[in-house]
């Protein structure tokens, strides 16, 4: 039974299982609850278990591997085209079996618990940041309705509003004072949570040699380095730095035919969060390079691109370059060494 393949359509409470002994044919189907899910794998011989990389899939993968099975996670967006007919659990399980037969579909690595901790902290921090931005925008809009305008900058909001609340002659309606004061306290609490999350990321980064090596790269700070380790993990699974940059969506789209090659905007595939962090880091490096008297080779290259192609294209080109450098630093297990500009 070495060729036994078991496809699992994961859900919250009920799991659909399709067992295949021959390619393209389902020999057994079973529907189990979450409490009986792991027990099912103890009753069958070890085989290859297929699942989509979705919520709780990494946890179940680690637990199933402990029972002697080989687990493969497939990208959900690549499994979807193999589903025929209406969408239901049986069709989804059969689609997973069919997608596995395509050798061009690369499996998703199973995350360790350490990676999921890093990713969870990033998700929570991002949620708090978005909530903080929403509260700031709400306060600005409400005050603008009554003719009170606050200068640009998130750091301007809380001090200005607290000053308006404490000033009896500020013109702020009394009925709004307590609510705006509570909104300011909520913003301060969200900022405190974000700071604590960053402190926790810093403590975890000090325990990770891979993160410390990434921190030596210009434009890659604490958030970017820990996000690369938490969301992507081992960069050695990518064939080259270009492959990694393509995975992040930092390469041009191509619409070519015959001898005519057409390249447009970047593909924007892959993880949006990491691409955003790399782009912001590249923009910071580019702006800082303008203030340096003798920039190194990397910054000189970025400034040259900015002169010929503009600031935005230079930023994306530098983000692509940073992704390739991150791949090289991780695969070679060495620190980044800046090089002086050639004479």
Tell me what pLDDT residue 1 has. 43
Residues 6+ apart with CB under 8 A from 73: 51, 52, 53, 57, 58, 61, 107, 108, 109, 110
| CB distance 70 to 49 below 8 Å | yes
Q: What percent of the chain has pLDDT over 90?
A: 84
| 5-100: CATH, from 3.30.420.10, 1.10.10.10, 3.40.50.300, 3.40.50.720 | 3.30.420.10
The conformation of residue 169, written as its DSSP 8-state character, comes to: T
Mean of the per-residue pLDDT values of the chain: 93
pLDDT band of residue 22 (cuts 50, 70, 90) is: confident
Q: What is the pLDDT of residue 144?
A: 94
Are 127 and 241 in contact, with CB atoms under 8 Å apart? no
Residue 255: the pLDDT is: 86
Produce one character per residue of 49-85: b if its CB has 16 or more CB atoms within 10 Å, e if not: bbbbbeeebbebbeebeeeebebbbbebeebeebbee
Q: What does the pLDDT look like over 54-66, one tens digit per residue?
A: 989 999 999 999 9
pTM of the model as a whole: 0.90
pLDDT digits (tens, 9 = 90+) for 111-127: 999 999 999 999 999 99
What pLDDT shows up at residue 260? 86
What ranges do the domains of the chain cover? 5-100, 113-206, 209-332
At residue 341 the predicted structure's pLDDT band, cuts being 50, 70 and 90, is low
Average pLDDT of span 281-303: 90
């Amino acid at each position: 039974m070495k060729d036994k393949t078991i496809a699992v359509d994961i859900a919250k409470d009920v799991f659909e299982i399709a067992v295949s002994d021959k390619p393209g044919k389902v020999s057994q189907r079973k529907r189990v609850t979450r409490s009986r899910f792991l027990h099912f794998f103890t009753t069958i011989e070890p085989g290859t278990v297929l699942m989509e990389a979705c919520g709780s899939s990494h946890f179940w993968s680690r637990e199933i591997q402990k029972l002697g099975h080989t687990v493969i996670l497939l990208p959900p967006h690549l499994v979807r085209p193999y589903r025929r007919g209406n969408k239901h659990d049986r069709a989804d399980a059969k689609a997973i079996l069919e997608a596995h037969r395509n050798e061009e579909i690369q499996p998703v690595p199973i995350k360790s618990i350490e990676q999921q901790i890093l990713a969870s902290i990033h998700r929570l921090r991002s949620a708090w940041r978005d909530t903080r931005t929403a509260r700031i925008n709400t306060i600005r809009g409400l005050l603008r309705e009554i003719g009170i305008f606050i200068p640009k900058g998130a750091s301007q909001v809380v001090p200005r509003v607290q000053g308006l609340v404490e000033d009896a002659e500020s013109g702020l309606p009394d009925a709004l004072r307590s609510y705006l004061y509570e909104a300011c306290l909520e913003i301060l609490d969200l900022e405190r949570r974000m700071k604590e999350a960053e402190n926790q990321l810093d403590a975890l980064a000090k325990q990770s040699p891979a993160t410390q090596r990434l921190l030596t790269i210009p434009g890659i700070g604490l958030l970017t380095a820990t996000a690369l380790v938490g969301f992507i993990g081992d960069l050695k699974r990518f064939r080259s730095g270009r492959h990694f940059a393509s995975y992040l969506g930092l390469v041009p789209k191509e619409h070519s035919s015959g001898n005519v090659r057409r390249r447009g905007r970047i593909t924007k595939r892959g993880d949006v969060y990491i691409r955003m962090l790399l782009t912001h880091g590249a923009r910071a490096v580019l702006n800082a390079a303008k203030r340096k008297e003798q920039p190194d080779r990397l910054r000189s290259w970025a400034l040259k691109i900015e002169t010929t192609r503009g600031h935005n294209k230079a930023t994306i080109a530098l983000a692509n370059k940073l992704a390739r450098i991150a791949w090289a630093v991780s695969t070679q297990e060495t620190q980044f060494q800046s090089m002086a500009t050639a004479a």
